[in-house]
Structures are given as C-alpha cells and as structure tokens.
Amino acid sequence: MGGSARTGWEISLGDEAYPRSLLELERPPEELRGLGDPGALSGPCLAVVGARRATPYGLAVAEMAARVAARHGITVVSGGAMGCDRAAGLAAVAAGGRSVIVSGCGADVVYPTSSQDVFEATLSSGGAVLSLERWGAGPRRWAFPKRNSVIAALSQVLVVTEAGLRSGTMSTAETAVELGRAGSDRPARLPLKARRACRSTRRGRPDAAADADGPRGERNRGAAPRRQILAHASLPDGAEWCLATFRVS
C-alpha cells in the first residue's frame, strides 16, 4: 500500500479534526488512527450494515443505498466486512462517491483479506480507513463492538439490510437507538429474524417507528431525530426516504 492515500494519521480526543458526532458516545475513543482523507469522517454520512453471508436481496439493498448516497455527496460508512459491507463500499466508489471503512483491526491491516478490493477502492477514491486499534493490530473479538458503535455514531442514517437477532449488525442498530438516532423505517421484506431484530431495538420507546409487517409501514409522526434506522424493501421508496432524511434533491 504505497502512496499518499496510504499515509497514516492519528487524531486525539480534543483535536480540531476529531469528528464531533463521536463526542455523543458515552465513551468517545481517545485515539483514532487511519489512512486516506480524515475529512471524509466529518461530512454527511450514511452507514450500511448487514450480513456477511448476504442473500442477493441484502446485497441489492446495500448497493442501492450506497449508490443513492454517493450520487448526492453523502459518504458511505461500513465495517469493510465481506457481504453487505463490501457491496456498499464498492457501489459507493463505482457511483463516484467515497467510502469510509471503520475497521476492527489496525487501519493498516486488511481484514478480511477477501475485502482487499474495497479497502483499495476506498483509499484510491478519497475515502478513509478508520480504526480505534493500534497499527498492525489483528482481529480481536472485543474490538468489534467498539467499531460498531463508531459506525453508528458517525452516520446520520443507518441502513439495516439483513440481520440476525444476535449479530454485529444489531449491535450497531442498538447503539444508534441508545444515542437517540432511531426514527423511521420502510416496509420490511427482510427475513423474519431481521424484522424481529429491528423491532427489538425499538421496543418500549415512544418515539420509535411502528412495526412494518403491513404493506405500507408508517413513519413516526413526531419530530425527526438526527439519526434514522432504515429497514426496507422497496428500493425506490427507500431511495426517496434516504434523500428526504438528508434534505437533498
């Protein structure tokens, strides 16, 4: 990995370049390490999260959301894993946008190795690879929940493509709820477990969206929160909703 895009940088809590959205976490990371353009962390961002062993439907939703975001200047954030993460990152770059990968390893470590192409595309297109871990750190189980929290905090919109009841995807969604980001969704034609998982993050919250098992789920009609969770199936409707959330045309 040679070239200026591969030059490492470090940002400390309190630095001017530190992303303000991360300050909303209960325990903001003390140090951020990364490659690429750190400015990609501060613009409008949309996160795409989903299954590693994704179905064709999950991959299509991830690619659609990423394309819509990229075409309107919104940075796409993911974890860089195989499946939905990889699909979203590559789609964003292919659409002329940029991507941010929040890695659970050191920023200079490509994990999994099957995601080499999305890491390379992210850096070559003005995006960034971000990590909370030391340089050269390999995968450790305890690092990924921290990574998931950062994905949720960086993004104004969280798109859930596919998820099991107990998964890294749902831990990201749960963090978004804890931060007050959860709001609207679209009708869910996700697998049953994913629908249940998305609903479980909202249970008992007065500002949560209604269940979306019917043909036309309705959005909560209260004040729109800054972060949204989107679990949807209708690709045109989903695209329109994403753009409306960012107030772009």
pLDDT in tens, 219-246: 333 333 344 444 433 333 445 555 555 5
State yes or no: pLDDT of 205 exceeds 70.
no
Q: Which residues pair with 160 in a beta bridge?
A: 49
pTM value?
Answer: 0.77
State yes or no: pLDDT of 188 exceeds 60.
no
- The pLDDT of residue 58: 83
Strand order in the sheet with 157-160: 9-12, 31-36, 128-131, 99-103, 75-78, 45-49, 157-160, 228-230
Q: Which residues pair with 129 in a beta bridge?
A: 35, 101
CA dist 76 and 64 (Å) reads 11
State yes or no: pLDDT of 44 exceeds 70.
yes
Looking at per-residue confidence, does 163 or 62 come out higher? Answer: 62
CA dist 192 and 17 (Å) reads 41
Q: How far is CA 162 from CA 50, 77, 190, in A?
A: 5, 16, 6
State yes or no: pLDDT of 191 exceeds 50.
no
Find the helix packing angle between 84-94 and 116-124, rounded to 10°.
30
State yes or no: pLDDT of 103 exceeds 60.
yes
State yes or no: pLDDT of 113 exceeds 70.
yes
Strands (E), the chain: 9-12, 31-36, 45-49, 75-78, 99-103, 128-131, 157-160, 228-230
Lowest mean pLDDT among 8-12, 15-19, 206-210: 206-210
pLDDT band at residue 249, thresholds of 50, 70 and 90?
A: very low
CA dist 27 and 235 (Å) reads 36
